[in-house]
């Protein structure tokens, strides 16, 4: 089959639904179309807008809260798709037998499937899939029914191998990085209520216990003793505005006062709209990711930060393994190393030569993982699968 003849379908949520999958799928389609401009198909979650443009034909057809197997199979069959790229996280697809049955049915229909699993949880994590009821059993079942399991890092690949997924079924394609509009840093700080001449540490993204904000507050209180003009900006909120989430946000505000950093801390206080994201990044000097997650994945915020050319400092956890391997070991610190975090942030904020070197490395990483480059890797994978090659062979990763 010729590359341009492929009918590629994506299974995801889409605009105006504001989820990470929406941004990811939109950017991926754009990157793939830089190489092959044919229309992409999208079997989307209800709430997505129907769309039929030269770039995308979007058909809302399923609900995460219902049995989505038959609606998706019917829609994908009517689209005459050759290959489906499914953006998998358990909040969208669940972690029960539905997703495995969907892949089995599509295989029977002769449709190749790529499961882009954005997180590989610990083998004993409780899952609803039977038999097994754990993450290892679910991942083995997904790999058995899918044409390919796609992950974003070597660390994620190793986790799949350790639970028995065949190496030829695994494709490693980095998360994409996108260049962002450059805005004036001082004006951006004014818009956010920050000192335009002060140095800014940014936390960006959804807030929950695993993001380590309490620890970051403690770090920042000590950074202030060394860099008195430093400021901390929190760009984000909890993903759900329920009672316990509001209580947690109030607790975080109380911690700011307790540690004496409240006057040097500002926060957006809600989901950051897309038009404000470049302003928030433009205001920052360093993006801090003091996360405390044990499972393997990669960070969209890392790639967003790289796309802006901003500095970053991350916890040494599986989620940030690519930062240490592909950018610099100096940009990761043990998650509980208070002294190391303080020294790392102070150095990035004050050592101009070191900061310039790290910034150049980050920009190279952003270029290597651009959506244009990762889009080409997706096309190579799809073409290889349709030609009868394994996932690893399609990308030369055997």
Q: What is the CATH number of the domain that holds 343?
A: 3.40.50.2000
Query: How far is residue 382's CA from residue 127's CA, in Å, rounded to a whole number?
Result: 29
233-244 burial, b at 16+ Cβ within 10 Å, e below that, comes to bbbbbbeeeeee
381 and 355 in one domain?
A: no
* pLDDT given for residue 7 in this prediction: 97
Query: How far is residue 149's CA from residue 171's CA, in Å, rounded to a whole number?
Result: 6
* pLDDT given for residue 101 in this prediction: 98
CA nearest 289: which of 349, 210, 229?
210
Nearest-Å Rg of the Cα atoms of the chain is: 22
213 and 105 in one domain?
A: no
Written as tens digits, the pLDDT of the chain (398 aa) is 444 579 999 999 999 998 889 999 999 999 999 999 999 999 999 999 999 999 999 999 999 999 999 999 999 999 999 999 999 999 999 999 999 999 999 999 999 999 999 999 999 999 999 999 999 999 999 999 999 999 999 999 999 999 999 999 999 999 999 999 999 999 999 999 999 999 999 999 999 889 999 999 999 999 999 999 999 999 988 877 666 678 888 999 999 999 999 999 999 988 899 999 999 999 999 999 999 999 999 999 999 999 999 999 999 999 999 999 999 999 999 999 999 999 999 999 999 999 999 999 999 999 999 999 999 999 999 999 999 999 999 999 97
* pLDDT given for residue 5 in this prediction: 74
Query: How far is residue 86's CA from residue 115's CA, in Å, rounded to a whole number?
Result: 5
Largest Cα–Cα separation, the chain: 64
3-state SS, residue 337: coil
29 and 99 in one domain?
A: yes
Residue 112 parent element (H or E)? strand 112-117
199 and 56 in one domain?
A: no
* pLDDT given for residue 19 in this prediction: 83
202 and 166 in one domain?
A: no
* pLDDT given for residue 2 in this prediction: 42
Residue 326 token pair: 């592909």
326 and 196 in one domain?
A: yes
Structural domain that includes position 109:
3-176+370-394
For the chain, the domain total comes to: 2
* pLDDT given for residue 214 in this prediction: 96
Edge-to-edge strand list for the sheet holding 230-235:
265-267, 230-235, 199-204, 286-289, 311-315, 332-333
65 and 211 in one domain?
A: no
* pLDDT given for residue 379 in this prediction: 98
9 and 144 in one domain?
A: yes
248 and 214 in one domain?
A: yes
Query: How far is residue 109's CA from residue 73's CA, in Å, rounded to a whole number?
Result: 9
- pTM of this prediction? 0.94
390 and 361 in one domain?
A: no
The distance from CA 357 to its chain's CA centroid, rounded to whole angstroms, is: 25
196 and 131 in one domain?
A: no
Query: How far is residue 8's CA from residue 6's CA, in Å, rounded to a whole number?
Result: 6
3-state SS, residue 335: coil
* pLDDT given for residue 83 in this prediction: 98
Residue 308 token pair: 């802006």
What phi and psi values does residue 372 have, to the nearest 5 degrees? -65, -45
89 and 8 in one domain?
A: yes
């Amino acid at each position: 089959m010729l590359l341009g003849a492929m009918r590629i379908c994506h299974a995801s949520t889409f605009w105006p639904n504001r989820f990470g999958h929406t941004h990811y799928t939109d950017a991926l389609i754009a990157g793939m179309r830089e190489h092959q401009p044919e229309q992409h198909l999208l079997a989307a979650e209800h709430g997505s807008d129907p769309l039929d443009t030269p770039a995308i034909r979007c058909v809302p057809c399923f609900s995460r809260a219902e049995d989505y197997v038959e609606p998706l199979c019917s829609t994908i069959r009517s689209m005459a798709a050759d290959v489906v790229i499914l953006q998998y996280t358990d909040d969208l697809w669940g972690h029960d037998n539905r997703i495995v049955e969907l892949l089995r049915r599509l295989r029977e229909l002769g449709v190749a499937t790529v499961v882009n699993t954005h997180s590989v949880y610990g083998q004993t994590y409780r899952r609803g899939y039977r038999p097994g009821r754990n993450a290892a059993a679910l991942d083995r079942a997904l790999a058995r029914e899918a044409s390919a399991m796609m992950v974003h890092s070597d660390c994620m690949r190793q986790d799949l191998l350790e639970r028995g997924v065949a190496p030829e079924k695994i494709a490693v394609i980095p998360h994409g990085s996108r260049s962002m509009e450059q805005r004036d840093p001082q004006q951006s700080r004014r818009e956010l209520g920050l000192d335009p001449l002060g140095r800014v540490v940014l936390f960006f993204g959804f807030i929950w216990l695993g993001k380590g904000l309490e620890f970051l507050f403690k770090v920042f209180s000590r950074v202030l003793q060394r860099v008195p003009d430093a400021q901390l900006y929190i760009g984000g909120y909890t993903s759900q505005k329920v009672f316990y989430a509001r209580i947690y946000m109030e607790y975080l505000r109380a911690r700011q006062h307790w540690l004496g950093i409240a006057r040097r801390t500002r926060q957006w206080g809600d989901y950051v709209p897309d038009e404000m994201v470049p302003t928030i990044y433009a205001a920052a000097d360093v993006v801090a990711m003091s996360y405390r997650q044990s499972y393997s994945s990669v960070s969209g915020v890392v790639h967003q930060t790289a796309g802006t050319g901003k500095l970053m400092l991350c916890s040494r956890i599986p989620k940030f393994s690519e930062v240490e391997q592909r950018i610099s070991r100096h940009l990761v610190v043990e998650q509980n190393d208070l002294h190391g975090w303080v020294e790392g942030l102070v150095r990035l904020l004050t050592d101009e030569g070191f900061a310039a070197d790290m910034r150049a490395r980050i920009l190279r990483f952003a270029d290597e993982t651009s959506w244009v480059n990762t889009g080409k890797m997706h096309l190579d994978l799809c073409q290889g699968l349709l030609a009868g090659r394994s996932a690893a062979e399609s990308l030369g990763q055997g």
